[in-house]
Chains A and B, each alone.
Chain A
Amino acid sequence: MEPKELERVARQIRLRDVQAVFEAGAGHVGGEMSAIDIMTALYFRVLRVWPDDPKNPARDRFVLSKGHTACALYVTLAKRGFIPEDEISTFLQPNSRLNGHPNCNKVPGVETNTGPLGHGLPVAVGMAKAAKLSGADYHTYVMTGDGEMQEGSNWEAIMAGAQFGLDNLTLIIDHNRFQQGAALSDTNDIAPLRPKLEAFGWDVSEINGNEMGEVVPALEHRSDRPHCIVAHTNKGHGISFMQDKVDWHHKVPSKEQYDIAVRELSEAL
């Protein structure tokens, strides 16, 4: 799928996502909007996956380490055919398999259970190492939040990824500059990320993570080392009143706000 078409799919996913969060009355819409372009490019262009055979050993792996943005993953998986699209309406409902954080034993396409931050990257390192051991040629992608990089376990995994020479691993940091309670810079400012990753022996790209023309080549980039994409994004991207507002980490839009969001996203379709 070409970037223009991917942009259209990403807007559709945004629309369904904000609708699901509004209807459920809960969710993490800001960080979903920032990450959706990357997830769209992964599932509709980059990843070698088979929705009708989700456990195929040759599949590329994607780990959503920022598991609180599960709704965006569910919408993307549904649109890609892993789960029924009409199931999105059960998000967060009693007994729904669409938890607030993804469950790999319930939802096809989910690789590991995430939610507590700092878990996905170590698991992704293990996935990439497994491919090195078995000779499998799948690629492993993992997406973390930028605030999530404050978790020390990530840096343990970053060291291991370099030590193991995992050229089959791509880390995407959704650098939207806001964490739950405040701006990253007012909390524990780990930016700039690039020199830190480079110092740990990774190949680093910096891109606009909401610009499909930059997202696709970055995801398709291969190196002789593990690759980190520092994806500069906007929290709430695509919805004017949400953009770069810390409140929208897990705020739920009012009816009036929801109508504005739907109108803006629909206009762009």
Chain B
Amino acid sequence: MNAPVSAPKLYDCRDAFAETIEMLAANDARVVAVCNDSVGSSKLGGFKAKFPERLINVGIAEQNMVGVGAGLANGGQLPFVCGASCFLTGRALEQIKADLAYSNANVKLVGISSGMAYGELGPTHHSIEDFAWTRVLPNLPVIAPCDRIETAAAVKWAAEYAGPCFLRLSRVGVPDLLPEGHVFELGKANLLRDGTDLTLIANGTLTHRMVKAADILAARGIKARVLNMATVRPIDEAAIVAAATQTGAILTAEEHSIYGGLGSAIAEVVVEQAPVPMKRLGVPGVFAHTGPAEWLLDEFGMAPHAIAEAAEALIKRK
């Protein structure tokens, strides 16, 4: 029997976002936060206390919120536009397309409580379509960090990046996966485990589940490569092609519909450049039932042991 290990501490990535934007704002007078009555859920209370005049709350009006963000950028400010991802992306998609992506406005979108973070509130509040909606837009990097370290790094990167981007955050606790001091690189996957039998690729709240699945597989003698792929667009084609050619199978998992998200983006590369067997885990094209986020992920076959079983089945197709 293995020695007991203490469970790793879990972190809400919104705290890393809040700490980082406050740090950025202290050093750069252009940094402003724009929100839709979401000061609390976006963890902007500290920002508001420190920089009250730079917290712009437009009320419950997402279309206006994104347009205001574009105007603030035009006027020389550096806006982080924050709101529940389901409303930010769903309600204001045309503003994201025309006012930000097409106009190349220097606005940082921060989708909070994405995926099924609001599990109990039902499908109106689930944001399992946002990768699909945003990744078709030109000139809009789409990024889902996997832990607090990558969240902080991505927020810092966003502040320096000249142009619009979309950061997709959750509120569901995740353990540390990347090393302290990690520097975010757009469109670059991180190798968390190397392996030769297949590759597991995820981002956001699924990456740590993939690591656990890889540990289960290792105990069964299966060497799984694990890639954290925060950037959904531009996708890391080189890492995908290398995974396909070197490990011969790719399993993806995401807190998103299997239609149009990370798995689809990876499949597009695999089919065109290095066809190998693939399996996409996620929400299988349904409105999810009600329940806590972690429970829903388990329900949809993304518990670590279920991921491991899906991996074993996939390997048999090689």
Binding site for B on A (CB under 8 A): 57, 61, 103-105, 111-116, 118-119, 121-131, 133-134, 136, 140, 152-153, 156-157, 159-160, 163-164
Contact = CB atoms under 8 A, between A and B. Distances in A.
Given A113-B98, A159-B61, 8 more contacts: A104-B103, A122-B68, A123-B68, A129-B68, A130-B73, A130-B75, A131-B75, A156-B59
Contacts of A163: 59
A89 B28 CA distance: 45
Contact of B54 (A61, A133, A164): A133
B59 A159 contact: yes
A61 B72 CA distance: 12
8 contacts: A105-B104, A116-B98, A123-B99, A125-B68, A130-B74, A133-B72, A156-B61, A159-B61
B61 A128 contact: no
B98 A114 contact: yes
B67 A126 contact: yes
Interface secondary structure of B, over-half rule: helix
A224 to B, nearest CB: 19
Nearest to B34: A126
A119 B75 CA distance: 16
Interface size class of B (residues with CB under 8 A): 20 to 34
Contact of A119 (B54, B59, B73, B98): B98
A100 to B, nearest CB: 14
B63 A113 contact: no
Contact of B67 (A115, A125, A136, A152): A125
B134 interface: no
Interface secondary structure of A, over-half rule: helix
B83 to A, nearest CB: 13
A168 to B, nearest CB: 10
B215 to A, nearest CB: 48
B63 A156 contact: yes
Contacts, number: 116
A132 to B, nearest CB: 9
B53 interface: yes
B32 A133 contact: yes
A127 B75 contact: yes
B192 interface: no
A127 B74 CA distance: 6
Contact of B64 (A57, A127, A157): A157
A123 B71 contact: yes
Given A133-B32, A134-B77, A153 B98 contact: no
Interface string B225-253: 00000000000000000000000000000
A136 B76 CA distance: 10
A119 B99 contact: yes
B70 A126 contact: yes
Interface-central residue, A111, A127, A159, by most chain B CB under 10 Å: A127
B57 to A, nearest CB: 9
Contacts of B102: 103, 113
B75 A123 contact: no
Contacts of B72: 126-127, 129-130, 133
Interface-central residue, A126, A131, A164, by most chain B CB under 10 Å: A126
Contacts of A105: 103-104
A160 B58 contact: yes
